[in-house]
Chains A and B, each alone.
Chain A
Amino acid sequence: MKKLYSSVLRTFKGGVHPPDEKRHTADIAIQDFMDPKGDMVFPMLQHLGAPCRPVVKKGDFVLRDQVIGEPDGLGALVYSSVSGTVKDVKPMPHPNGSKVMSVVIENDRQYTTMEKDIQPCSYKELSAEQILDRIRRAGIVGMGGAGFPTHIKLSPPPDKKIDHIILNASECEPYLTSDYRVMLEDSWRVVNGLRIVLSLFPGAKGYIAIESNKPDAFQALQPYIEDENDIELVGLKTKYPQGGEKQLIHAVTHREVPSGGLPADIGCIVINVDTSVAISRAITQARPLQRRIVTVTGDCVKNPGNYRVRIGTSFREVLEAAGGVTKEPAKIICGGPMMGMALSSLDVPVIKTSSCLLVFSDSKAYLPEESACIRCGKCIQACPMHLQPYELNQLVLRRDWDGFIKWHGPECIECGSCSYICPAKRHLTQTCKLGRQVVAAMRKQAAKGGKSHG
């Protein structure tokens, strides 16, 4: 039996304990929903960075696994997950609330696959360059939510020595169980993806970091790492936001990502469970990223569960696949309840970073009324970045952007812990987000205008 990295559960300072609500979907096997009937929409923005450039035009016939968008700057390739005719290339509603240039494909439901020029093989037969190239060509991005292009994350500058590869298996957001189910059902690929990444960084150690509320996942992964000397299991306390990149790194390594820096600056790379599976598939099956696991849950959903869906499928169809709704939905969220985006319509597509579809009725979506801050300090204790949320809230309400910077407002990771815990129901995270956006815009403006404004 392989021992845990440490018998003591590791964690970070701060955080909250929202009810995890995972029981609705945790024990149901992933179901396939791979034959969508409606049009497929592929936004050119499914990652962090600049939108891709569409490389197909209206009327083109495309095959499954065909490239339809190429990155312009920071980004990742976008593939079609079906075969069919391009109906249109135009801005379409995106889960982020805006309209984004998208390729709309009428699905012929034949799923004719494009001929590959690479063959499935073991990662041991490939050089590091070949592995990175396959990951880039598979269009893989961080599937935990942020969507940072994986091939760039795995190519840190040569002066950064990477010694920790951390597989983020904490899944701390309430309701979400997609990573948990993947670990149970696809354990080999999860570990294999980590092995592939480890092969890129000789001398680095792999860590699989799992929250203590997922003992089954521990057991499922254990047989696959039994003989690996360079992979350890790390038990984490169940606490939100344990899966936040900076919090996770701190819990595992006791290192702090410096302000404005990247994990690579302190020798760490963090990858998500589903990303690891995608990496494994890109190498050993030579398949690009064109499907993902989505948790469909919430008090309105008839058959909550995890569904394997093609990227580009509309959320309306995904919800129908889960039996539709039993009550009138009042709020529909793409992602978890702490950091997810509320959708204004179900007619937006599943993208590479969509982990969850959460459908809340009126009683769950109810927004409590704000009242005056009572200085209880609960937000300070909850903030995983050790900020002063009550003060940042006042600074933003007063439009004091200099003060916001001085009080480290831009360090906020928008995890939602402060708003969650606030007994006065103040919109702390919300104002912090606003402050960060204003400051980012101001800095952009200053960079553009040179010193004339500064």
Chain B
Amino acid sequence: MAKEGILSASTSPHQRAAHSTASIMRDVIFAMIPILIFSVLYFGWRVLLITGLSVASAVLSEWIWQKLTKQKVTISDWSAVVTGMLLAFNLPASVPWWMPIIGSAFAIIIVKQIFGGIGQNFMNPALAARCFLLVAWSSAMVTFQVDGVTVATPLAYLQSGEESMVPSYLGCFLGVIPGCLGETSKLLILLGGLYLIWRKVISFVIPLSYIGTVFVLSYVLGGDGLYQILTGGLMLGAFFMATDYTTSPMNAKGQCIMGIGCGILTVLIRFYGGYPEGVSFSILLMNICVPLIDRFTMPRVFGTEKSSFFKKKEEKQS
């Protein structure tokens, strides 16, 4: 703040866009709220408990870690809330209450803060935590209940060959199917994703290339592409997880490679793997490739020769 009569003489530009890290994170939360409401209506009040505990644990873990390591506390940027919500969305509503707490603490401390906090993690924290929980307590993570009755997910039925048990396309689209608490309603995920694209928070490249690859490749391999994109965590992953800024490439070309890579891995895991769902693992695997993708898709600098970055390097080496 300028004192009376003293002029600020900072260097240009003197004008900044209205958005901020916090406003972007809040937009992601807005996009997820309809999905949460649907989940509460369909799976019951336990959804709120799981989500609440997950968010609280994420925010508290960040606060405690930053206090302990004497860093600036950044919980006001809302990113921990997003991580907590996304982790909860990837859990069945019936998980024990302590699992979201451990999961969020793992996501924030081990995956995000140890690598340097926001912008520095090399994997999506929520997805890494989900896979950690899946490996550590797998039975709780793959037990899905609707109205207190344990049922298998559509993808599990497909994998075991019980195709007569799979719900209709419409049921999958509306989300009245068993699954993780935030992944079932494709309709609301799609609306949330479109909201994020409209707000320019994410670009359409990753969701489109990811979902498109799964759709086409499934048909090529003799499956039902439409069914593949309407079931499991694909939509949630494509719109909300694979588009995570920190763990996705920064320009459109790289994002397209990321989306196609995720799509191929997802289909391979779903069709040939021992596990009915492949979204989490494929996104995590592609997360690790992001620095490489970014390097190889760097745009040509205006007025210079093509890919002079690499040329100069070669010259230096020779």
Contacts and interface: CB of A to CB of B under 8 A. Distances in A.
Contact of A341 (B2, B12, B299, B303): B12
B302 A256 contact: yes
B12 A372 contact: no
B17 A18 contact: yes
B304 A408 contact: yes
A254 interface: no
Q: Could you say which of B15, B117, B309 has the most chain A C-beta atoms within 10 Å of its C-beta?
A: B15
A376 B24 contact: yes
B150 interface: no
Given A342-B8, A388-B298, A381 B14 contact: no
Contact of B301 (A174, A338, A387, A429): A387
Nearest to B15: A337
A430 interface: yes
A343 B117 CA distance: 37
Contacts of B12: 333, 335, 337-342, 414, 416, 429
Contacts of B298: 388
A96 B100 CA distance: 57
Interface string A369-385: 00111111100110011
Contact of B21 (A97, A256, A340, A374): A374
A246 interface: yes
Nearest to A414: B12
Contacts of B302: 246, 250, 256, 384-386, 411
A385 B77 contact: no
B10 interface: yes
B7 A330 contact: yes
B4 interface: yes
A265 to B, nearest CB: 10
Given A337-B15, A419-B16, A344 B1 contact: no
Given A371-B21, A380-B299, A420 B119 contact: no
A158 interface: no
Given A342-B7, A376-B24, A411 B303 contact: yes
Interface residues of B, number: 43
A430 B11 contact: yes
Interface string A400-424: 0000001110010010100111111
Q: Could you say which of B14, B19, B300 has the most chain A C-beta atoms within 10 Å of its C-beta?
A: B14
A133 interface: no
Interface stretch (A149-157, A222-230, A359-367): A359-367
Contacts of B246: 374-375
Nearest to B79: A374
Q: Could you say which of A338, A340, A377 has the most chain B C-beta atoms within 10 Å of its C-beta?
A: A377
A407 B118 contact: no
A345 interface: yes
Nearest to B6: A330
Given A344-B9, A371-B74, A423 B19 contact: yes
Contacts of A261: 303
A261 B77 CA distance: 43
Contact of B17 (A174, A377, A414, A421): A421
Interface string B296-318: 00111111100011001100000
A328 interface: yes
Contacts of A338: 12-15
A317 B25 CA distance: 47
Interface residues of A, number: 66
B299 A386 contact: yes
B164 interface: no
B168 interface: no
B261 to A, nearest CB: 17
B138 interface: no
Given A328-B4, A362-B1, A381 B251 contact: yes
A371 B12 CA distance: 18
A294 B20 CA distance: 33
Contacts of A18: 15, 17
A344 B7 contact: yes
A414 B2 CA distance: 25
A429 B12 CA distance: 8
Given A375-B119, A375-B246, A342 B14 contact: yes
Interface in A243-268: 246, 250, 256-259, 261
A433 B11 CA distance: 9
A331 B2 contact: yes
Interface string B58-75: 000000000000000010
B300 A386 contact: yes
Contact of B14 (A258, A337, A388): A337
Q: Could you say which of A345, A386, A422, A429 has the most chain B C-beta atoms within 10 Å of its C-beta?
A: A386
A409 to B, nearest CB: 10
Contacts of A362: 1-2
A449 interface: no
B312 A376 contact: no
A259 B308 CA distance: 12
B119 A333 contact: no
B309 A406 contact: yes
B301 A342 contact: no
Interface of B: 1-2, 4-5, 7-17, 19-21, 23-24, 74, 77, 79, 117-120, 245-246, 249-251, 298-304, 308-309, 312-313
26 contacts: A174-B15, A258-B303, A328-B5, A331-B8, A333-B14, A337-B13, A337-B15, A338-B14, A341-B12, A342-B8, A342-B9, A358-B14, A371-B74, A371-B118, A372-B117, A373-B119, A374-B21, A374-B246, A380-B250, A386-B300, A411-B304, A420-B17, A422-B16, A423-B20, A424-B21, A430-B10
9 cross-chain pairs, A with B, having the tightest CB-CB distances, nearest first: A416-B13, A377-B250, A330-B2, A337-B15, A376-B245, A386-B299, A342-B9, A259-B303, A408-B301
Given A340-B12, A365-B2, 12 more contacts: A259-B303, A329-B7, A337-B13, A364-B15, A365-B8, A377-B249, A377-B250, A385-B303, A411-B301, A420-B17, A422-B17, A425-B20
